[in-house]
Chain A
């Protein structure tokens, strides 16, 4: 009896601790999401809500002229996800492994690697814009100096290089984040496994591939799911470097930028479409929700098998 009363007290206390976070989520996430959902079912003239539209806004989103932008943006988000997942995650694992094996100065290098994550994104964006400036930027200057003229490209101005360049800048800023998660994962591995493998004559490469990597699966799940959410909600960096239209020529356009344009209009090109913007918001929410949910479930099931 006393035990169950204690349990109830504990539950009440837990709920009390959760309450501020729960209220924050309800006010700043759930309510706006529901409002967006309701907006998507109405006709809009500018900021004036009109009659009930049913699924008309969703139909228009998938019809000309919005369809082309939608599919292009979706393609970009997918490429960004694949690019970040492959390059950033691989690099994150390698950095984490290097830090793990570092005998001295681990704390210093960990701070250095993580430092860009805490920089203001706007500053990071403008810094890279200046570095990559085709006229005054030090990167192209150096490339010309060493005779690699063909590599001195208009990195952010060409439709071929703009998106990969943004992925690279994102990598520079964020690689410390997966590295720290993987480092925590490596630190959590029971050292007895590694010592046993060493005694059995396993090479460093075999230890990494056969023991460490599989045991990093929970960290991999976290990084993959967070990368998926981040890639499909990617807004800040493309906005800072390519504006709301995803310049040049829409080469850096993403679903979130398109949502922003449709909802608020564009400074230099006007007019908004709140209903279609809300429909796109619902689509992004659904894609991210389902993708993250299923992805998480699938990856966790593989963790168990391992």
Chain B
């Protein structure tokens, strides 16, 4: 018994002695390894971000814990965490109205070019994608531009006998008729995925409503969503439905994209972000890109683009210095080049080279034909957003249970409830 007690005492003494030596080494703040947390809505980019985090760790000694969540749950999870006073140190933020509510409520740290010098080199229009709605402070670093347009398969067009790329709406339809006659699906798009319908409209709509001029006028309240040109832009989507695959109402997003990626459909109307998915299914796919055809010969063609997503810092982070360091890493040319190469980003930082021929065509077209994504950039700051009415509305238009004019009237009535310039004049 006595022997056991003395052994225990010896053991305790040894433990304390070891702790006395080890604890000061590991717990010393000066030597403690800093770890920052980083949240994203892109689980598919985990390998990429972890490789970048390893580079950041090697350069700074700061480790980054990357935690992605399913995109559809991300807003709810992040807002719940931030409002509870928690959340990650650094995070992906959705553009424009997607998270302006969190920016305006002070959950993101305002950024300046003093802390993040790269901000000074990003165009003002792009910076607007990561600002608050009421405060207009810069809360995020916009990292990529998204572009909408028409992707085509040159091999299938050749097979169908389409010799020249269509430049007008009528020649586009003639080309699709030829493709259909050759037994090939003209368009891979479907109406089952409602946001995809809005993106399709975002690509083809501006040539009908008049691009930038209409955007400025409707934002200023000088035009409404019931304008006949805007209605024509909605009708253009309805006209395209005739070229959708049979059973398009049940076509989900990935199946629709799969039809183009697997060379069953000759055209797919969407964004540059589809290309990496196409290539993941079919690395040998030959993808071409063109701006949406003009409504009529002589009318301008537009390339819809917007700052799609940013990086932000938690206003309550305990690792402010490390988070800023990481933001500067994320805004570096080296990181952006890696993202362009691996994820197909059109970087907001100048000097980043694009290698994909289709993406090169997009980047070249933006300066002369660029126009904002009207519903995303302008009208996602209040409920109901124009998108929340437009997306299910397009499904009704595609099914023939609502007309383009009725949809336009519904958007106007809904947005006018919160957007003062569009409220009916007394």
Q: Does B194 reach chain A (CB closer than 8 Å)?
A: yes
Chain B residue at minimal CB-CB distance from A243? B72
B194 contacts A248, C-beta separation under 8 Å:
yes
B101 contacts A133, C-beta separation under 8 Å:
no
Which B residues are in CB contact (< 8 Å) with A154?
192, 247-250
A267 contacts B74, C-beta separation under 8 Å:
yes
Q: Is the interface of B mostly helix, strand, loop or mixed?
A: helix
Q: How far is the CB of B377 from chain A (nearest CB, A)?
A: 11
B97 contacts A248, C-beta separation under 8 Å:
no
Most buried by B among A132, A133, A134, A243: A134
Q: Does A273 reach chain B (CB closer than 8 Å)?
A: yes
Pick the interface stretch among B115-123, B227-235, B383-391. Answer: B383-391
Q: Complex: how many Å from CA A243 to CA B253?
A: 12
Q: How far is the CB of A134 from chain B (nearest CB, A)?
A: 4
A129 contacts B383, C-beta separation under 8 Å:
no
Pick the interface stretch among A40-48, A86-94, A166-174. Answer: A40-48
Q: Does B179 reach chain A (CB closer than 8 Å)?
A: no
Q: How far is the CB of B400 from chain A (nearest CB, A)?
A: 11
Pick the interface stretch among A14-22, A97-105, A257-265. Answer: A257-265
Q: Does B23 reach chain A (CB closer than 8 Å)?
A: no
Q: Does A77 reach chain B (CB closer than 8 Å)?
A: no
Which A residues are in CB contact (< 8 Å) with B259?
135
Q: Complex: how many Å from CA A48 to CA B135?
A: 13
Among A64, A129, A243, contact of B413 (Cβ-Cβ < 8 Å): A64
Check A47/B107 contact, CB under 8 A, given A65-B414, A266-B388.
yes
Pick the interface stretch among A106-114, A156-164, A176-184. Answer: A156-164
Q: How far is the CB of A271 from chain B (nearest CB, A)?
A: 5
A135 contacts B385, C-beta separation under 8 Å:
no
B255 contacts A47, C-beta separation under 8 Å:
no
Q: Does A150 reach chain B (CB closer than 8 Å)?
A: no
Chain A 129-162 against B: per-residue CB contact (8 Å), 1 yes, 0 no?
A: 1001111100000000000000000111111000
A134 contacts B247, C-beta separation under 8 Å:
yes
A247 contacts B413, C-beta separation under 8 Å:
no
Which A residues are in CB contact (< 8 Å) with B209?
none
Q: Does A224 reach chain B (CB closer than 8 Å)?
A: no
B192 contacts A249, C-beta separation under 8 Å:
no
Q: Complex: how many Å from CA A267 to CA B399?
A: 24
Q: How far is the CB of A254 from chain B (nearest CB, A)?
A: 14
A48 contacts B105, C-beta separation under 8 Å:
yes
Q: Complex: how many Å from CA A266 to CA B259?
A: 27
Q: Complex: how many Å from CA A250 to CA B380?
A: 19
Q: Does B49 reach chain A (CB closer than 8 Å)?
A: no
B391 contacts A245, C-beta separation under 8 Å:
yes
Q: Complex: how many Å from CA A103 to CA B216?
A: 77
Q: How far is the CB of B71 from chain A (nearest CB, A)?
A: 6
Q: Complex: how many Å from CA A61 to CA B126?
A: 35
Chain B 375-402 against A: per-residue CB contact (8 Å), 1 yes, 0 no?
A: 0100011111101110111011001010
A260 contacts B76, C-beta separation under 8 Å:
yes
Chain B residue at minimal CB-CB distance from A129? B252
Q: How far is the CB of B316 from chain A (nearest CB, A)?
A: 14
Which A residues are in CB contact (< 8 Å) with B255?
133, 135-136
Most buried by B among A136, A262, A271: A271
A135 contacts B247, C-beta separation under 8 Å:
yes
Q: Complex: how many Å from CA A95 to CA B376?
A: 51
A135 contacts B245, C-beta separation under 8 Å:
yes
Q: Does A227 reach chain B (CB closer than 8 Å)?
A: no
Query: What is the number of residues of chain B that contact chain A, defined by CB distance less than 8 Å?
Result: 57
Among A47, A249, A265, contact of B392 (Cβ-Cβ < 8 Å): A249
Q: Is the interface of A mostly helix, strand, loop or mixed?
A: loop
Check A157/B191 contact, CB under 8 A, given A245-B388, A245-B391, A247-B392.
yes
Q: How far is the CB of A148 from chain B (nearest CB, A)?
A: 15
B72 contacts A244, C-beta separation under 8 Å:
yes
Chain A residue at minimal CB-CB distance from B76? A264
Among A64, A133, A272, contact of B250 (Cβ-Cβ < 8 Å): A133
Chain B residue at minimal CB-CB distance from A137? B250
A48 contacts B384, C-beta separation under 8 Å:
no
Interface residues of A in 58-74 (CB under 8 A from B): 64-66
Q: Complex: how many Å from CA A288 to CA B392?
A: 28
Among B248, B252, B380, contact of A270 (Cβ-Cβ < 8 Å): B380
A158 contacts B250, C-beta separation under 8 Å:
yes
A157 contacts B74, C-beta separation under 8 Å:
no
Q: Does A192 reach chain B (CB closer than 8 Å)?
A: no
Interface residues of A in 263-298 (CB under 8 A from B): 263-273, 276
Q: Does B79 reach chain A (CB closer than 8 Å)?
A: yes
Q: Complex: how many Å from CA A243 to CA B250?
A: 14
Chain B 184-212 against A: per-residue CB contact (8 Å), 1 yes, 0 no?
A: 00000011111100100000000000000
B249 contacts A248, C-beta separation under 8 Å:
yes
Q: How far is the CB of B97 from chain A (nearest CB, A)?
A: 4
Q: How far is the CB of B130 from chain A (nearest CB, A)?
A: 14
Interface residues of B in 43-81 (CB under 8 A from A): 71-72, 74-76, 79
Check A267/B250 contact, CB under 8 A, given A248-B191, A272-B383.
no
Which B residues are in CB contact (< 8 Å) with A45?
101, 104-105, 134
> Would you list 6 pairs from A and B whose C-beta atoms are within 8 A, ordered by A residue?
A65-B414, A134-B247, A248-B191, A265-B75, A269-B391, A271-B97
Which 4 A-B residue pairs are closest in the complex by CB-CB distance?
Answer: A46-B101, A157-B250, A154-B250, A157-B249
Question: What 4 additional pairs, Cβ within 8 angstroms, besides A250-B392, A260-B76, A263-B76?
Answer: A154-B247, A154-B250, A270-B97, A271-B384
User: Which residues of chain B have a CB within 8 Å of any CB of chain A?
Assistant: 41, 71-72, 74-76, 79, 82-83, 94, 96-98, 100-102, 104-105, 107, 133-134, 190-195, 198, 245, 247-252, 255, 259, 376, 380-385, 387-389, 391-393, 395-396, 399, 401, 413-414, 417
